Amino acid sequence: MSDIAKKVPFGYEPPKDDRKGTIVYYDSFEHITERELDFAAYISKERSFAKLVLYPLHEQSVKRLSKEPVSAYHKREDKLHEWKRDRDAANVIVERLEGKRKKYTPIDSALRHLSETYPAPLFLLMTGEMANLFASFSSFEEWIVKIRLFVITESGHVHPRLVQYRQRWEPVTSH
pTM, to two decimals: 0.87
* Domain at 22-172: CATH code: 3.40.50.620
Q: What is the DSSP letter of 121?
A: S
| Beta-ladder partners of 172 | 152
Q: Using CA of residue 115, residue 47, residue 124, residue 66, what is the dihedral sign?
A: negative
55 near 95, Cβ under 8 Å? yes
Q: How far apart are CA 93 and CA 52, in angstroms?
A: 6
Ranges 14-18, 94-98, 169-173: which has the least confidence: 14-18
* pLDDT at 20 > cutoff 90: no
Q: How many residues does the chain have?
A: 175
pLDDT confidence of residue 75 = 94
The domain segmentation of the chain, as residue ranges, is 22-172
The rounded Cα 21 to chain-centroid distance in angstroms is: 11
- Who wins on pLDDT, 22 or 2? 22
Position 19 pLDDT exceeds 80: no
Instruction: Classify residue 3 as left (phi > 0), alpha (psi -120 to 50) or beta.
Output: alpha
Which tens digit of pLDDT belongs to each residue from 131-145? 999 999 999 999 999
Single-letter amino acid code for the residue at 89: A
Instruction: State how far the Cα of 159 lies from the Cα of 171, in Å rounded to an integer.
Output: 14
Residue 1 predicted with pLDDT over 60? no
On whether the CB atoms of residues 80 and 54 are closer than 8 A, the answer is yes
CB 156 within 8 A of CB 128: yes
Residue 57 · residue 32 · CB < 8 Å: no
Report helix angle 128-136 to 59-66, nearest 10: 80
115-132 pLDDT, tens per residue?
A: 999 999 999 999 999 999
Contacting residues for 6 by C-beta, under 8 A, at least 6 apart:
none
Mean pLDDT computed over 41-46: 94
Please give the pLDDT value at position 175. Answer: 59
Residue 8 has pLDDT above 90, yes or no: no
Stronger pLDDT, 93 or 90, i.e. the higher one:
93
